[in-house]
Structure 1
Amino acid sequence: MKPSKRQSELKVTLATGAITALVYPAAAPGIGAALILGHGAGAGQDSRFMVDTSRALSNLGLDLVTFNFPYTEQGRRIPDRAPLLEACYRSTIETVRREVVTARRHLFIGGKSMGGRIATNVAAADSELPIEGLVLLGYPLHPPGRPEQRRDKHLPSIQRPMLIVQGGRDAFGTPAELEPILA
């Protein structure tokens, strides 16, 4: 999907090449904050969910930035391993802080499903990361049907506010499953 008149492209340089980010500028008047959202495993930043969510949040006054992970940028379906996805997310944070003025003041990170999990990994690994909080849209707590295979050990170490929007019938984890972890 090509950027609309309100969007602009941003190139993010990685050790392994480059990816494309899309900047959805805040509708005036903006609130002076930026949010980076990583996409889920099955669809890139041009998915209907990512585009609609980004437009809606930018219309509410946030500078919104989405990006493709390398495997998506290269047209592959299988996600790269977590270390490469995390390095990509860190490079995106650095680029956005340099190029998007509001991100220098108030920056939040997050994502849809896998993108949110990678954002939490990055935040847990670096307590000095220049972010104010996380926004997670459908956190993948465990694979569907396998609640014993939890992906939550790192969550308590995140010393930033987290907003988690989770569906009550989400096969990757319900609000009831997340609540005791984050309480």
Structure 2
Amino acid sequence: MRGALAAGSARVSEMVASLPSPLQNRFHQAKALYRFLSNPRVEAEALLDRVYQESATALEGEEVLVLLDLSPVAKPYARALEGIARVGKDRRPGYELLTALGLDPAGRLALGYAHLVAYGERGFASLPKEVEGAIEAARERLGGVGRRLVYVADRGFDDRKVFGQVLALGEEFVVRVYRDRKLGEG
């Protein structure tokens, strides 16, 4: 996990490259990491929960920005992956990654939410439901007694339901608008 956080990447080769030089025999380290991840006793959710906990405890201050983002993860050569759909401006096969990062005044980051949105997955409800879950999870993981969260998002989150949910939590938001509106139009 240390390699994933240091590299800022899910690529095994980049994780290994971020390790201290005595541990950088890339082939052997990558092989060991693949072996670890393929162990049936290792669950991705448990690893992710640990990342949520460890990174959130590093946050300090009374105000934390929660950066919401939805980014395409293209899988251009994929043909038969579960839940794959057309994503991004190019409409390439892939998924979208919905994340919520906490940022404190000192510049420390914490992962509040990360989920691969698979539009073609059986049981997928809607993107607004996914966003609702991300906001709730970020509030639970990054908020705290006396801590104010300010949600910051791009125009993809310009939605009255998002605004209503954040306001109902007693929090604030800054969202780039998708289109111009007149005051009172909503």
Q: Given the two structures, how large is their TM-score scaled by the length of structure 1?
A: 0.41
Q: Given the two structures, how large is their TM-score scaled by the length of structure 2?
A: 0.40
Structure of larger gyration radius: 2
